[in-house]
Amino acid sequence: MKTKIESSLLEQMQFSNREIALRKRLFGFTERDVANLVACRELIAVQVDEISEDFYRQQVAEPEIAMVIGDQDTLQRLKNSMHHYILELFQGYYDAEYVNKRLRVGKIHKRIGVTPKLYMSAVWLLMSVLENFIQAEKSGKIGGVPCADIQMSLRKLILFDTQLVFDTYINSMTDEILIAKQEVEQYAESLEQRIAERTQQLHEIALRDPLTGLFNQRAFYDSLHRQLAIAERTNDSVCLVYFDLNGFKKLNDSMGHKAGDALLILVGEAMNETLRNSDLACRYGGDEFCIILPSIDLAQAQVFCLRLTEHFDHKETCGITFSMGVIESNAALRLEMNEMVRLADTKMYLAKELSHAESGHHIECSLLSGRF
């Protein structure tokens, strides 16, 4: 019974009994050839050690082959293997088990680095050594079979074996190519994923203000355009809050730009603490900020602004306050993007004017104007 490993090798190479029979037929290897080889079995069995020694004596005389063989222990193992192979050539059993052994030989030779050049030279040498022993029979016959017939049958079988070995070589190289292909595909997939991640990171960087982490002006316009389109399609509303910081220039002049940057960061934190998931907070530029509030009316936007100022006032604000302008686009009045920004900016400046007369946060919108 074949082991699981042996069976899987035969199956992997797709060697059925039908395939084995076909290959023999292609070489013209018949039952007559089997009988010719069996007739020589006893003579070969007696001389097998001498044949093996003669073969390896000539092999190791070639420096390149001697280098592949290496040490004496390896040489002795090879001699033992050759001993068994020579006997198998004349046993008369060339079935699936025999084929499996040849496939394994090919796999081993490929693994240890025996090149086709060296393997074919070894095949030629073995054939020559065996034919010389066969021809040494003075009668010209062995077991009643002409030596020439035995030699022809032997050539067919050795060529049959060589074909099996090279099938294994090709199969191993195909496996190596498939493995390499899979590795390249995995690397390409990994690289593609890293590139996609890096591209996404770069995209995020391109849309973010590096100081506050808020979205920048480019992202603001992209998002406002999208939200206005959605609102029009769903008959919904969108509010825009546009504000700047009261007293920011004085802070920069008196305490320096680092203090100003720290204050801008606090504004960003207050905005993020107040936002819903659907809202978008942006640093428009300098000390000006915008917030897009989808699905909100002016009254709700006012509540949002109050919460924002409360979050901000709990921080180290250095006396900074907000001037806020709020605009709503709704079903009754659909505003174009640039018009909405212009109107919000105008209302913010109205709130700014109030801040010059009164301290605190100021908001300007249609529903309510005043100080907080």
Active site residues: 287
**Residue 185 corresponds to which tokens in the numbers above?**
């595909």
Q: How many helices (H) and strands (E) does the chain have?
A: 14, 8
* Distance between CA atoms of residues 155 and 149, nearest Å: 10
Asked if 312 and 322 touch (Cβ cutoff 8 Å), the reply is yes
Sort strands 238-246 and 321-329 into parallel, antiparallel or unpaired: antiparallel
Among left, alpha and beta (phi > 0; psi -120 to 50; other), residue 237 is beta
**Residue 44 corresponds to which tokens in the numbers above?**
């070969």
With a CB cutoff of 8 Å and minimum separation 6, the contacts of 298 are: 239, 326, 328, 365, 366, 367
The three-class DSSP label of residue 146 is: strand
Instruction: Provide the strand spans (E) within 231-350.
Output: 238-246, 280-285, 288-294, 321-329
Asked if 89 and 158 touch (Cβ cutoff 8 Å), the reply is yes
| Residue of 299, 301, 294 whose CA lies nearest to 233 | 294
- Cα-to-chain-centroid distance, residue 169: 28
Asked if 300 and 366 touch (Cβ cutoff 8 Å), the reply is no
**Residue 309 corresponds to which tokens in the numbers above?**
């100022």
The DSSP H or E segment spanning 213 is: none
With a CB cutoff of 8 Å and minimum separation 6, the contacts of 183 are: none
Sort strands 321-329 and 362-364 into parallel, antiparallel or unpaired: parallel
Helix, strand, coil % (nearest 5) of the chain? 65, 10, 20
> Largest Cα–Cα distance of the chain, in whole Å?
133
